[in-house]
């Protein structure tokens, strides 16, 4: 007969991530922006939106516990090309532990170019963002998106997920960019859409 002991299971790494995420969210809900880490499916959908074969670095913003980071590596982004920016000290040190082969920078994405300068990173093919952009003021969004495109030049791709129905990059900030939804992930908490932004002249 099944009893409670037989269905009790050992806590998994995912349970640990959820607990950590919740504890960070309780301290700073707007800065963390989600109750739970992205699902592996959402990570894969984010990675599908970029061209992983390009030689320039890929920058991930707001790495969290590393769900999107892992998906980018599994999709074929070479570890030496991937740089992760994370502003929460505890999450940044978890990312360093989990991905010792990567460059993880503890810092604010609003200072993107200055954070990358000491690493000698002055160009990128894609910026993949897990930042809570929607809860950021327009000026902060603009500052982050402009620096991302300054880094990427003409053919860059900025990717952002959102839980809402609208573009997570505000209308004034995305002027001059082509915005498209590249995927929807129902098996995520909450369900999410992946948005891709590219310069209009590069996709015309
Ligand atoms: C919604 S969580 C996403 C985490 C992870 N990418 C995922 O998908 O599970 C947002 C992450 O962005 C980080 N973050 C928020 N504002 C930031 C900023 N200005 N600069 C860098 N990281 C930031 C938070 O600490 C948090 O880890």
Q: What's the pLDDT at 3?
A: 53
Atom of ligand 1 nearest to the CA of 33: 1
pLDDT in tens, the chain (204 residues): 445 454 556 656 777 888 887 888 888 888 887 878 999 999 999 999 999 999 999 999 999 999 999 999 999 999 999 999 999 999 999 999 999 999 999 999 999 999 999 999 999 999 999 999 999 999 999 999 999 999 998 899 999 999 999 999 999 999 999 999 999 999 999 999 999 999 998 886
pTM: 0.92
Give the separation between CA 172 and CA 160, rounded to whole angstroms: 16
- Ligand 1 pocket mutation pick from 27, 83, 94, 131 by most atoms within 8 angstroms of CB: 131
Residue range of the domain that includes 127? 4-203
Answer whether 44 contacts ligand 1 (Cβ < 6 A): no
The number of distinct structural domains making up the chain is 1
Answer whether 66 contacts ligand 1 (Cβ < 6 A): no
Q: How far is the CA of 200 from the centre of ligand 1 (A)?
A: 27
Rg (Cα) of the chain, in Å, rounded?
A: 17
Q: What's the pLDDT at 97?
A: 97
Atom of ligand 1 nearest to the CA of 85: 21
Answer whether 62 contacts ligand 1 (Cβ < 6 A): yes
Nearest to 36 by CA among 70, 73, 69, 65: 65
Q: What's the pLDDT at 59?
A: 99
Q: What's the pLDDT at 16?
A: 80
Residue nearest to atom 3 of ligand 1 (CA): 130
Q: What's the pLDDT at 204?
A: 67
């Amino acid at each position: 007969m099944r009893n409670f002991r037989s269905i009790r299971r050992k806590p998994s790494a995912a349970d640990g991530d959820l607990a950590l995420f919740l504890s960070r969210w309780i301290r700073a809900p707007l800065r963390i922006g989600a109750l739970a880490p992205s699902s592996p499916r959402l990570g894969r959908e984010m990675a599908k939106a970029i061209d992983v074969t390009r030689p320039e670095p890929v920058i991930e913003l707001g790495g969290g516990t590393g769900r999107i980071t892992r998906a980018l590596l599994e999709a074929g982004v070479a570890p030496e090309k991937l740089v992760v920016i994370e502003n929460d000290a505890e999450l940044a040190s978890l990312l360093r532990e989990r991905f010792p082969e990567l460059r993880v920078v503890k810092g604010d994405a609003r200072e993107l170019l200055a954070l990358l300068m000491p690493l000698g990173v002055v160009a990128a093919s894609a910026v993949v963002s897990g930042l809570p952009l929607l809860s950021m003021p327009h000026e902060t969004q603009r500052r982050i998106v402009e620096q991302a495109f300054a880094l990427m030049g003409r053919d860059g791709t900025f990717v952002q997920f959102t839980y809402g129905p609208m573009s997570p990059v505000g209308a004034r900030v995305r002027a001059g960019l082509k915005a498209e939804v590249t995927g929807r992930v129902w098996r995520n908490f909450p369900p999410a859409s992946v948005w891709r932004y590219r310069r209009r002249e590069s996709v015309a």
